[in-house]
Amino acid sequence: MIINPYPCKSEYSPATATAIAYTLRHLQEQVGQEETAVVRLSSDDHIDWDSFPVPACGLPGSDVGQIADMRFSLTDGTGLHGQRFPDGRVEFHLDQVDACRAPIEHGARETRMVQYGAWGALVFGALGYVADGPRGALLWGGLGAGGGVAFGANTPKRSRRVFALPEIPFSNPLAIRQPTYS
């Protein structure tokens, strides 16, 4: 169980896991497929941590400055991903593919893992071929693919559009105010 160490200072209803997921689905429809909708809650906001399921796994996310990742599997195959930052804020977004249930598919759909792996294999394979023929192409191409996959797995495909709590009345997510961008 995750316990919220911060008192409730929000004028809105507590942010439950269901309300956050519902709100994120609504926001994602508004921002489209080129961006990821992110809900930001400051340390002064109330999160109903008891409403969250037990974290599904401890798989870390791409480094965006967070000190902790929390992943929650949802019944439709998506995942609710929470990230806690040093300043106390918590950000949530929906993963199109649950990283706990399908980490490779998650990486392929949500990061640049495949593209960077292919480019790494191509570039380093060509350099290896020039240096040592087919044997060098295989060796260097494999190393390039591995490096590209590792780097690409930490590079999200979509930019983030952040919505801060004052704009999100969790008791009525359809009454969302103008967003704050970051």
Task: Determine, yes or no, domain membership for 182.
Answer: no
Backbone angles phi, psi at 136, to 5 degrees: -65, -35
Question: Are residue 22 and residue 61 in the same domain, yes or no?
Answer: yes
- When divided into structural domains, the chain yields a total of 2
Band the pLDDT of 179: cuts 50, 70, 90.
very low
pLDDT of residue 68: 82
pLDDT for 173 beyond 70: no
Rounded to an integer, what distance in angstroms lies between the CA atom of residue 108 and that of residue 116? 11
The domain of 46 spans 17-100+157-171
Task: Determine, yes or no, domain membership for 6.
Answer: no
Question: Are residue 138 and residue 73 in the same domain, yes or no?
Answer: no
The residue among 179 and 27 whose pLDDT is bigger is 27
pLDDT of residue 43: 61
Question: Are residue 21 and residue 91 in the same domain, yes or no?
Answer: yes
The rounded percent of the chain whose pLDDT value lies above 70 is 79
Question: Are residue 47 and residue 135 in the same domain, yes or no?
Answer: no
